[in-house]
Chains A and B, each alone.
Chain A
Amino acid sequence: MSGKSLLKRLDWLTVFIYLALLTIGWVNIYSSTFIETDSSIFDFGTLHGKQLFFIGVSFVTIIILLALDAGFYERFSSLLYVIAMVMLLGLFPFGKTIAGATSWYDLGFFNLQPSELAKVATALALAKYLSDIQTDIKRRKDQWYAFLVLLIPAVLIIPQPDPGSALVFFAMAFVIFREGLPLYYLGIVLLAILIFITTLMFGTIWVGITLTLLIVLFLLLKKKTFKVPIFPLVSVVVVAILFSLSVNFVFNNVFEQRHRDRFSLWLRLEKDPAKLEKIRKTIGYNTYQSEKAIESGGFFGKGFLEGTRTKGDFVPEQHTDYIFSTVGEEWGFVGTTTVVLLFTILLLRLVYLAERQKNPFSRMYGYGVISILFVHYFINIGMVIGILPTIGIPLPFFSYGGSGLLFFTILLFIMLRLDSNRLKEGF
């Protein structure tokens, strides 16, 4: 047993990165919502003032989280999960609609977004289920249950609609892989994504021909002694081609035009310059403007409060989902690289923390945290810099939004609280 105090056992590197991201994030929110007439940074009527208030709330929350017993989180994870699911359900009758999505409870002074709570709760619940002594992930039934834990919140969130948040829950499947789910599941998913994209870009015929050629090549080059079951291999190709055909069908008949436009923008499918210009002005407006804003920053950026495109409000939703474009414009390549490096170090540090846990619950929860943060970071920045399609999802610790900040803080500091307790065997 270590006699060191909690503060000494805390992983300060993570805390430091957390504070750095929070600071940089707030500075950029300040800049993107700045209006010359603002009097004080503490004016809670302004967006950056509100964000400052939530940073304060987060700090208080951290103290509470650290003060609680580490075992508390494992014990109450199931209850928390149920509460979260009920709150998601409750949105259908009581939710408040903002910008077309019914994702909030109106609490008067602020809007609570239960999907943020659900992320924390699901990460805890999944860890709890998988670490249960009776769960064997090699069993098909247990695999289904594990997926079910993720599927319930996702299904409840999709109709809000908030596909970005729903995606986060699917990403948590990575925890299950880490705990022993065979990797070929992941392989199938990746293959499906690959076929989806290549079908859109090159068409079913080329995908079919390429796949067949690859199989033939594989059969010709393989060692004589290595026996390959021909039938499953051929059926994989057939299924893949059928899937490819269905992609076209889904794309043209199930997707709405705005979805199609997003994909055609992302994959550069549209070659006609006139139509491309139109897409840029409509569905691709955000991406185009944010790319331009980032580009105009150059190496050193235009400087704090000097971003002309930021000041001119050219990038919509800049203080929330597109906050990274402010970093790009005002702080340049130096700023953007710093943020990317901070996230990379944070995630790698969390992997290290998760792996050093002796308690399986803590480890699995750690992977849950990593999955959630990683998906947010990857999709958000990928979208803002134009290498992923537009999916509305905030950048953790950065984007404006009280619920988001609060629950990302909770998510991270539960992990730190668990980590600080790793040397105590059992609770």
Chain B
Amino acid sequence: MKKILLSSIIIIIGITFIGRLSYLQIFSFSPDQVLEDPAIKAIYDYPERGYIYDRNGKLLVGNDPAYDVMVIPREVKVLDTLEFCSLLDIDIEKFRKQLRRARIYSPRLPSVLVHQLSKEDYARLQEKMRRYPGFYIQKRSLRYYDMNAGANVLGYISEVNERDLRKNPYYVQGELTGRTGVEKVYEDTLRGRKGVQYIQKDRFNRDIGKYKDGLLDVQPIQGKEISLTIDKDLQEYGEKLMNGKWGGIVAIEPSSGEILTMISGPTYDPSLLVGRKRSANYSKLHYDTISKPTFDRSISFEKSPGSPFKAINALIALQEDAITPSTTFTCYHGFYIGRNKKGCHCGGGTRRLNDGIYKSCNAYFVGAYKKIFEQFDSNAAAMDAWEKHVRSFGLGSYLGSDLHTGRPGSVPSTELYNKWYGEGDARWSAVTTYSNAIGQGEVNVTPIQLANMTAAIANRGFYYTPHILKKVNGEEISDPNFVDPKYTTINKRHFEPVIQGMAQVYKRGTAQYVQIPDIEIAGKTGTVENFMVIDTVRTQLTDNSVFVAFAPVDNPQIAIAVYIQNGYYGSRYAGHIASLLIEKYLKGEITRKDLEKRMLERTLESEYAKPYSGEAFEINEYDWSKHAIKPKTDTIPSR
């Protein structure tokens, strides 16, 4: 028995060892240990982030070198602290504190001593640094904005957070990533790919050579430079015009779908979100919940389109053979919905399509809307057809653009009205939903959708998906989503009479006071009622001022939608601003200096303050002098 005992113990111990070893080496083993291995350090080589240019090759965003003074505490020798501090331009107490903090963090690893020196300081310091062992200068790259505008388009970059790290294993702590705008959408293109060098370390964290002779090392791939479809001058000019006004402006080149400008008011200087003041500035912007400067109104602001939507209704009525251009409707300074009279500002009389549009006659379009419904056996079928036509203009969808955010707006449907009123012709009809006829009903749109809709009209029946990317490394994009046209459900021949009506809007209609010498514009004004709940009371505010237009009429080069919150009637702000932008884009200069001056200086801040004043207020005040004159200044000082 004793003979077997020893042999058994030997065998049992052998099995135990192999069991433990298989637990360690087979079950606990994971192949990604290279990154966890304390003996291997990955040193990253960051390629420069790609530059961003405008459509004409003007620089929008570049990189600015910044210089951090780094310190490795244990390599620091005795030094003349006084001289060194005066060289760095910091006080001695701060220097000592930083050095102490660095030593606590790690005596062997580098810490930042002074953040982001200027180029001048760097030049001065560079030569003298050698005299101070343990200190050196680390070059970093910050975004540099050559345009004082377009923060909503360009977006910003910031350090990756825990969520980014979980979502994308590419990033490691401390790296930068695009947060909004183009920086986010084209993050991969702009960023390039970082290079990695694996270094073998010993337990004192000293380099002892390359890991596997550099077999696993990766060369960095340069970030690509991109050109946007944005016109830098137009963007800057537009933002100046938006001084003290809230709203969104989008201009599109109809022949390509390229977004020429995308303006949101109020906005901010993009360089506020770079460098040392970034986080303080961001908090200020982010917590301004009344004017919401970080909210991109050009793509996310959903509101009733108002009268510009009448153009769509005209096209649908023509397509469904509900009317011809010569069909007449009579306006009694209004129209009747059952026994209730609804008002109209057109002046009354018999209206055909042309003057229905240029006088923006509500009675005409409600009549046409009813006629559309009469073409169908049931209201449900009519609604379905109507909805299909509306949606073919890109309304009620995200459009499939390459913008980082946005809202779909809304287009009403049979389903919606069935839910509200119940099913069947007896429950709801054209009369129930007449508001849709004049763009005040259940239709909600964003400025970019309005601009795209206008581009589709300008093209007489099709549009290109609006996009912001023009070139990557100098090569034009070829994405079929952006290059292939999207057709509306309206026949080409129906567009001409509607466009003529829109041209008359400019010549003799509601927009006759925005005329630009030598330029033919087709447009449509909108004056949109809007409401706000103040202390639980639904209160009407000053109307929103809306204008959509394209120019020139026969060879459209720009389609634009301007939506100004509480700007009163359509041409008052939106029309003027649109005309200035069109002139700027087509002519390159402004001839109507008085108008320009008025638009640059008049602000609507008094309007925006009304709901928050706590007092009763009047709306739709005609008097220009009520609108404060204020030269454009930044609410937050830039760096």
Interface residues, chain A, with chain B CB atoms under 8 Å away: 36, 174, 177-178, 183, 291, 294-299, 306, 308-309, 311-314, 328, 332-333, 336-337, 340-341, 343-344, 347-348, 351, 355, 367, 370, 374, 378, 381-382, 385-387
Contact = CB atoms under 8 A, between A and B. Distances in A.
A294 B7 contact: no
A370 B3 CA distance: 12
Interface in B14-42: 14, 16-18, 20-22, 24-26, 28-29, 31, 33, 37-40
Contacts of B40: 308
A114 B270 CA distance: 78
A312 B211 contact: no
Contacts of A297: 25, 29
Interface in B73-92: none
A296 B29 contact: yes
Given A347-B10, A355-B3, A308 B21 contact: no
Contact of B38 (A314, A351, A370): A314
Contact of A312 (B2, B14, B22, B39): B39
Interface stretch (B105-113, B195-203, B291-299, B524-532): B195-203
Contacts of A378: 13
A338 to B, nearest CB: 11
A385 B21 contact: yes
A378 to B, nearest CB: 6
B419 interface: no
Given A294-B21, A295-B25, 4 more contacts: A36-B209, A294-B25, A298-B26, A337-B21
29 contacts: A36-B209, A183-B2, A295-B24, A295-B28, A295-B29, A296-B29, A296-B33, A298-B26, A308-B37, A311-B202, A312-B38, A312-B202, A312-B203, A328-B21, A328-B24, A332-B25, A333-B21, A337-B18, A341-B14, A344-B11, A344-B13, A370-B6, A374-B9, A378-B13, A382-B17, A385-B20, A385-B21, A386-B20, A387-B16
B211 A308 contact: yes
A351 B212 contact: no
A97 to B, nearest CB: 25
A294 B24 contact: yes
Contacts of B616: none
Interface in B186-218: 200-203, 208-209, 211-212
B199 to A, nearest CB: 11
B321 to A, nearest CB: 76
A315 to B, nearest CB: 9
A182 B21 CA distance: 35
Contact size range, B: 20 to 34
A69 B22 CA distance: 46
A340 B39 contact: no
Nearest to A311: B200
Given A299-B29, A351-B6, A385 B203 contact: no
Contacts of A355: 3
In this complex, the member of A177, A294, A355 whose beta carbon has the largest number of chain B beta carbons within 10 angstroms is A294
A120 B108 CA distance: 48
A313 B14 contact: no
Nearest to A367: B6
Contact of A348 (B11, B25, B208): B11
B401 to A, nearest CB: 48
Nearest to A310: B39
A294 B29 CA distance: 9
A351 B7 contact: yes
Contacts of B11: 344, 348
A333 B17 contact: no
A389 B16 CA distance: 16
Given A347-B10, A387-B16, A333 B2 contact: no
B212 A306 contact: yes
A348 B201 contact: no
Of the candidates B3, B10, B29, B212, the one having the most CB atoms from chain A within 10 angstroms of its own CB is B10
A332 B21 CA distance: 9
Given A178-B2, A295-B29, A296-B29, A340 B14 contact: yes
B29 A313 contact: no
Contacts of B202: 311-314
A170 B326 CA distance: 118
Contacts of A296: 29, 33, 37
A355 B28 CA distance: 41
A328 B25 contact: yes
Contact of A333 (B26, B31, B33): B26
Nearest to A337: B18
A299 B26 CA distance: 6
Contacts of A314: 38-39, 202-203
Given A297-B25, A309-B37, A311-B200, A385 B6 contact: no
Q: Which 9 residue pairs spanning A and B have beta carbons closest together?
A: A312-B39, A308-B39, A344-B14, A333-B25, A298-B29, A312-B202, A295-B24, A347-B10, A340-B17
Contacts of B17: 340, 381-382, 385
B365 to A, nearest CB: 72
Nearest to B28: A295
B18 A340 contact: yes
A381 B15 CA distance: 13
A117 B449 CA distance: 93
B39 A311 contact: yes
A374 B25 contact: no
A312 B10 contact: no
A82 B203 CA distance: 45
Most A CB contacts (10 A, CB to CB) among B9, B26, B29, B209 go to B29
A393 to B, nearest CB: 15
A101 to B, nearest CB: 23
Given A309-B37, A347-B10, A348-B10, A340 B212 contact: no
Contacts of B18: 337, 340
A340 B33 CA distance: 25
Contacts of B7: 348, 351
A313 B203 contact: yes
A257 B11 CA distance: 35
Contacts of A340: 14, 17-18, 21
Contact of A311 (B2, B3, B21, B208): B208
Given A299-B26, A385-B21, A344 B10 contact: yes
B619 to A, nearest CB: 64
A336 B29 CA distance: 15
A418 B382 CA distance: 110
B164 to A, nearest CB: 27
Nearest to B20: A385
Contacts of A370: 6
B106 to A, nearest CB: 15
Most chain B C-beta atoms within 10 Å of own C-beta, residue among A311, A312, A313, A314: A312
Contacts of B201: 312
A374 B10 CA distance: 8
A386 B7 CA distance: 24
A382 to B, nearest CB: 8
B6 A178 contact: yes
Given A309-B37, A313-B202, A314-B38, A351 B26 contact: no
A328 to B, nearest CB: 7
A336 B25 contact: yes
A212 to B, nearest CB: 29
A328 B18 CA distance: 12
Nearest to A374: B10
Nearest to A294: B24
Contacts of A343: 14
Contacts of B26: 298-299, 333
Contact of A299 (B3, B14, B20, B25): B25
A36 B20 CA distance: 33
Contacts of B211: 308
Contact of B22 (A308, A311, A333, A341): A333
A306 B200 CA distance: 10
Interface in B34-66: 37-40
B226 to A, nearest CB: 40
B369 to A, nearest CB: 70
